[in-house]
Amino acid sequence: MSIRFDGKVAIVTGAGGGLGRQHALALAARGAKVVVNDLGRAVADGGETPAEAVVREIVAAGGEARANHASVTDVTAVEAMVNDTVAAWGRVDILVNNAGILRDKSFAKMTLDDFRLVVDVHLMGAAICTKAVWDLMKAQGYGRIVMTTSSSGLYGNFGQSNYGAAKMALVGLMQTLSIEGAKDNIRVNCLAPTAATAMTEGLLPAPALEKLKPEAVSPGLVFLVSEDAPTRTVLCAGAGTFERAYITMTQGVHVGFGAGTPERIAAAFDAISDRDDEYVPESGTVQGRNEVGKALQA
């Protein structure tokens, strides 16, 4: 069955170019009314902003869209964006937290200001936008939210300690919000894209960039915000390939505690690390239940 968004309203942040633009175009092409949010300003006086240019594309293709220039780190501006959207279209069904920046340097050379700035935009920006739509989605009994994570957060990448920390934090935010939103049909997922955008220009060779078109990622986004979307999913996407990432836990080994415990951990570390029968806990409380259960058995 075709995935459609007729009657649905979506907000896509950082949608003036790159991945966000493709996400906005893809949602609009399937019937969504789209708020194209982007902080970018017009290159020349009186010219179009990036957000306005995307809106023009959507409207020219027969869709409905509105431009918005709020910074995702500005609580008041984000709340105004959501209020304006509801005033115009009555609801918000989909939020795509896509806005982001890079300030790459090795940790030794990175300033704390650059660390904080990246965390503010990626993590706090997503939290601010999500908070602004959360009660509305609860009242509607419907919501689809996507956080944009990254393999740099899931697995690390040299020179991206700030970016990686923010992106992994978004996975933690997704994990908890998916639990809290379940009773109100709010599904929260993460998308980990690999795409050639302004943020990745110069980091990859030309043949790879040609394969890594942003439009090859957006089908994953469309799936993650669909009516039948999963929840608590980390979907990786790039060059037309899609993978799923999991945060798992091994069965573990009870070695007790007290004198000599560090040495017993060292001796049992291979067994502790054994991935046979590893699993994905349904919540953070599973760790404690596993540990207490093994202690009681011992």
- Alpha carbon of residue 50 to chain centroid: 22
**pLDDT tens track of the chain, all 298 residues?**
799 999 999 999 999 999 999 999 999 999 999 999 999 998 777 799 999 999 999 999 999 999 999 999 999 999 999 999 999 999 999 999 999 999 999 999 999 999 999 999 999 999 999 999 999 999 999 999 999 999 999 999 999 999 999 999 999 999 999 999 999 999 999 999 998 765 566 667 778 778 889 999 999 999 999 999 999 999 999 999 999 999 999 999 999 999 999 999 999 999 999 999 999 999 999 999 999 999 999 9
- Provide the pLDDT for residue 71: 98
Chain-centroid distance of CA 146 in Å reads: 5
Q: Is 272 exposed, middle or buried (0-12, 13-18, 19+ CB in 10 A)?
A: middle
Paired strand residues for 147? 97, 190
Per-residue model confidence (pLDDT) at position 202: 65
Q: Are 185 and 142 in contact (CB under 8 A)?
A: yes
Q: Identify the residue whose tokens are 């989605």.
A: 137
Catalytic status, residue 163: yes
pLDDT value for 206: 79
Write the DSSP assignment of 64-109 as a string of letters.
Answer: EEEEE---TT-HHHHHHHHHHHHHHHS---EEEE-------B-TTT
CA distance linking residue 92 with residue 140, whole number of Å: 9
Side chain identity at 185, as an amino acid letter? Answer: N
3-class SS at 64?
strand
- pTM, entire model: 0.95
Q: What is the dihedral of CA 84, 85, 87, 92, to 10 degrees?
A: -140
| Confidence at residue 46, expressed as pLDDT on a 0 to 100 scale | 76
Task: Give the span between the Cα atoms of 193 and 23, in whole angstroms.
Answer: 12
Beta bridge partners of 174: none
The single residue of 142, 155, 163, 279 carrying the catalytic annotation is 163
